[in-house]
Structure 1
C-alpha cells in the first residue's frame, strides 16, 4: 500500500525532471549567450554621413558593399557634419538616432562628456594599421572612440595657367595678390575663407598666438592666447587683406571654389576635400605647402575625421564591425579615389596610387609642419566666438584688439559655464 500511495507522485517527479532536462540545454544555451554578451544580428544599421555630395556618394557605395557582404542593410543619411552632435542629442534619446556618426576629432571630448559616443573595442592589430597621430587624435582620456578615415590639412592650390610657381613666402604671396586682384572683374590673386579660424590659424601661430597654453604636454584651458600680442598681429594681417579688398567680405567655400574652377583666381587656400572637385573641373592646378611666414614654415591645423559609435546604438558589436569595414584598406582606397581624402592607413600611405600623387605629397608635407586641433571639450567653446570676431574684423565692425579681447572673454565665460 505504501508503494502504491507514492507511485503517482514519483511518476510526476520523473516526468517533471524529464521535461526540465529536455528544456535545459536550450535554456542553458540562451543563458550562456546572454552572459557572453552576444547580440542578435541586426536587420539594419544606420550611418549619419557628411552631406557633402562626394563624401555622401562614396559612403553610400561602401555601405552597399558591406550590405552585400554581411547581409545587414545599411541606411546612409546625409547630415550637416558640424550640426550632427546637436541633432544626435535630440534624436538619440528618442530612439531615432544612428549607429555611426562622424565629425572632426576636435569635437570628441565634448561628445564624450555629453554622452553622445562610446568607446570602441577592437584588437591591437586593427589599431596598428593606422598612423599613430590619427589614433591619438581619436583617443580621449586613454580610450579609443573611433577609427580614422581621413587626415586633413590645408595647403596652397595654384592655377598653373595663371602662375607658374607659387610664392615662397607669405609676403610675396600678398604682394602678388595686390598686383593681380581686380574685384570689379571678379579676378583675384588669392582667395580663402578669411573669416574662418580653421583657415586663419596658421597666421595666429606665425605671430605667436595660440588657443590654449600647453604645459607639460597638456592644455591649460585657463590660459587662452587668442588675444595675446601675436594673435592681435594676426588680426591686423587679416584686417589688411579685407581693407585692401584682396578678399571679399563674407566669402564662403562655394564662391572660392567656383571662381577657382572658372580660372579667375590664381591661388586658393583649401584642403584635400577640394581635390576631386577641381580635377573634375579640369583645372590645370598644382598644390604646394603654405608659403613660409616670418621665415618659418606655416603651422596649419591638422584634423582627423573618424567613424564613431553612437552611445544610443543598440547594436554595438555589429556597428563596430561596420566601423572596421568603413576604415579598412580597401574602403579607404576607394574613398580616396572618389573624394581625394587622404587616408591615415599605413599601407595606403605607401600605395603607389597615393604616394606618387604630387597633391597628396604637398598636403603630407604641410601636415608635417602642423598642429593637431585640441580634442578637449573646451575646444567646442572656441569656434563661435573666434569666428564672430574674425567676421567683425573682416567687415570693419571692430578693430582686431577689441574683437579678440571680446572673443576671449566670451570663450572664458563659456568654459566656466561648461564646467559648472
Structure 2
C-alpha cells in the first residue's frame, strides 16, 4: 500500500495539469463508433481510459495505443457482440455509456465493474431508458446495480428517465443517435447539466443532429454517420481545482497550463466561484496559462455546485480556509460517486478539526484551524487530492493511506505537486503498518 505524508507550506512555480478524463473517454467512444480512422492525441492515460479502450475493442473497434496518441478504427455505428464480460473497472462513465451502446447489439452484453461500481453506482435510469426502447436491460442481482445484462436491438421511440445523474442521459443520447429513426428523450429533474452539455458539444463537433430544450427534452434524428477525426484532448478543469486550492489556502502564486477557458467543461465554473470569494487569477489565452495570485483571505458564500459537483470535496477544504460560513448546495448526487463524498469529506475533515456538517443536499463549513492526522482515502481519487490540499493548511503532519486511486484522473499527482514546492512525499508501507 502507498500513502502520502503532507506538511504545511507555501508553493511556487509552474504546473502542467493532466488532460481531461471526460473528453478522453468521449473521444475514444465516438471514435470507436465512427466510420474510418481517428487519431486522439494527448489522451489521459488512466485506469478509466484503459477500461474504455478495452470495452470499445470488445465492441469491434481496433485501437492502437501509443505513448501520447491513439489510432482508432471505428465500427461505423454497428458495434459487434462482445466475446466476454465487459469490465468497467471503477468508471461510472464506462458502465453507463457502454451499457447504452450495448442496446444497439442484437445479442447479450454483460457489464460489471469493481466493488465501488457494483455497490455505489445505480443504473436504474439507464435500464429504464433501454427497456422503454424495447431492449432487455436487467441488473443481474435485481438491485439496480452492476453487473447488468443488456440485449438489443433497441427501437427508435420515446422515453422518459430521471436525470439527476448525467451519465445515463449522455449514454442514451449517444445510443439513440445510431438508431434507425427519430427518438425523443424526456428528462425529469435534470442535473449535472454541464456534463450533458459536453456530450452535446461532441454531437455538434461530429454533425450529429439533436434538438434540445433546457436539458429536459431531446429529439435525436437517428441514422447518424460520421467520419473518423483528429482530436487533441485539452487540460482537465476537474484536476485544475486541486493546485488552485493549494495555492489559495497557502497564499501562494503559481502558474498552471494548459488551461483553455473556451472549453465546455463544467468544472471551470469553480474559477468564477472562487473569484466571487476573493481569489484573483490572470489568464494568458495565447499560451493557455492561468496564474493564481497570492490571496490573503477568501470569504465564505453559498454555492450551488450541481454543475461542477466533482469539486465538492475540494470546495469543502477551501471552506475551512475561507472567512465565515460556506454553504454548498445541489450536491446530493455526490453520494453516488466513487464513494459517498459528502459523508466521506465531512468525516475526514472533522478528524482534522473542521467545523463541518452534512446537509440534505450538501455541506455547511465554517472557518476552521486544521490539525494533521491519519485520514482515509475511501479509494476515491478526489478524496485523496482534497485531503492532501487540506494537509497544507494543517498544523503538523497529515497522512493519507491507500492513495493509488489518484491515477484515475491525475497520474503523477505527487510529483507534479512537488514541482511547485508542495511538502508532500509518497512512500510504500506494509499493510500491517
TM range (shorter): under 0.3
Structure possessing the higher relative contact order (Cα contacts under 8 Å, 6 or more residues apart): 1
Please give the TM-score of this superposition, normalised by the length of structure 1.
Answer: 0.26
Please state which structure has a larger fraction of its residues in strand: 2
Structure with larger Rg: 1
Please state which structure has a larger fraction of its residues in helix: 1
Please give the TM-score of this superposition, normalised by the length of structure 2.
Answer: 0.25
